[in-house]
Amino acid sequence: MFLCIETPELCRYRERNKGKETRERKRGSEMEFSLEHLQPKERASFALRSLYETAGCRKYHMGRFEEYSLYQENRSFLSSEQVITFTDLDGRLLALKPDVTLSIAKTAQPAPGETLRYYYHENVYRPSAESHTFKEISQMGLELLGAVGEAEVQQAVCLAAQSLAALGAEWVLEVSHMGYLFGLFDALGVPEAARAQLLEKLRQKNAHELRAAALSAGLSETAADALCGVLELSGGYAATLSKAAALCRNPAMTAAVAELTALAPTLGQAGGSIRLDLTLAGEMEYYNGLVFQGYLKALPRPLLKGGRYDLLLQKFTPGAGAIGFAVYLDELDRLNAMPPVQHQDTGKVMLNVALPKGRLGDKVYNLLAGIGYGCPEDYNATRKLVVENPAAGIRYFLVKPSDVAIYVEHGAADIGIVGKDILAESGADIYELLDTGLGTVYISLGAEGIYAADRQGSTAWVPCARCHVANATGGGDAVAAALAARMVLGDSLTDTARWAVGAGALACEAETTINPAMCWDNIETILNRR
90 falls within a domain = no
Specify the higher pLDDT residue, 187 or 452: 187
Q: Which of 34-43, 325-334, 518-527 has the lowest mean pLDDT?
A: 34-43
276 falls within a domain = no
Q: Which of 27-31, 262-266, 381-385, 421-425 has the lowest mean pLDDT?
A: 27-31
Out of 426, 453, 476, a domain closes at: 426
pLDDT confidence bin for 263, thresholds 50/70/90: very high
pLDDT confidence bin for 1, thresholds 50/70/90: very low
Rg for the chain (alpha carbons), in Å? 29
Around 482, how many Cα atoms within 13 Å sit in the side-chain half-sphere? 30
Q: What is the pLDDT of residue 420?
A: 74
Out of 426, 457, 491, a domain closes at: 426
452 falls within a domain = yes
Domain limits for position 402: 351-426
Query: Contact at 8 Å (CB) between 430 and 462?
Result: no
Specify the higher pLDDT residue, 227 or 10: 227
Out of 393, 426, 459, a domain closes at: 426
Has residue 98 got a pLDDT over 70?
yes
SS3 state of residue 138: strand
448 falls within a domain = yes
Count of structural domains within the chain: 3
Same domain, 460 and 398: no
Has residue 152 got a pLDDT over 60?
yes
113 falls within a domain = no
pLDDT in tens, 157-167: 999 999 999 98
Q: Which of 192-196, 347-351, 373-377, 492-496 has the lowest mean pLDDT?
A: 347-351
Q: How far apart are CA 180 and CA 192, in angstroms?
A: 16
pLDDT in tens, 314-353: 988 999 999 999 999 988 877 765 444 444 455 567 888 9
pLDDT confidence bin for 2, thresholds 50/70/90: very low
> Once rounded to an integer, what is the mean pLDDT over residues 214-242?
93
Residues of the chain above pLDDT 70, percent: 84
List of residues 6+ apart from 458 with CB closer than 8 A = 493
Q: What is the pLDDT of residue 4?
A: 43
512 falls within a domain = yes
Same domain, 393 and 464: no
> Once rounded to an integer, what is the mean pLDDT over residues 91-114?
85
Which candidate, 173, 169, 139, places its Cα nearest to that of 158? 173
Query: Contact at 8 Å (CB) between 462 and 496?
Result: no
pLDDT in tens, 437-472: 666 777 887 778 888 877 666 788 888 888 888 888
Q: Which of 70-79, 475-484, 494-503 has the lowest mean pLDDT?
A: 70-79
> Once rounded to an integer, what is the mean pLDDT over residues 497-504?
89
323 falls within a domain = no
316 falls within a domain = no
Q: What is the pLDDT of residue 361?
A: 81
Same domain, 387 and 421: yes
Same domain, 358 and 391: yes
Q: What is the pLDDT of residue 272?
A: 81
Q: What is the pLDDT of residue 325?
A: 95
Q: How far apart are CA 147 and CA 321, in angstroms?
A: 6
Same domain, 444 and 422: no
Q: What is the pLDDT of residue 34?
A: 58
Same domain, 482 and 406: no
Same domain, 421 and 471: no
CATH assignment of the domain containing 392: 3.40.190.10
List of residues 6+ apart from 14 with CB closer than 8 A = 21, 31
Mean pLDDT (the chain, rounded): 82
Q: How far apart are CA 208 and CA 438, in angstroms?
A: 13
Sign (positive/negative) of CA torsion 516, 519, 522, 526? positive
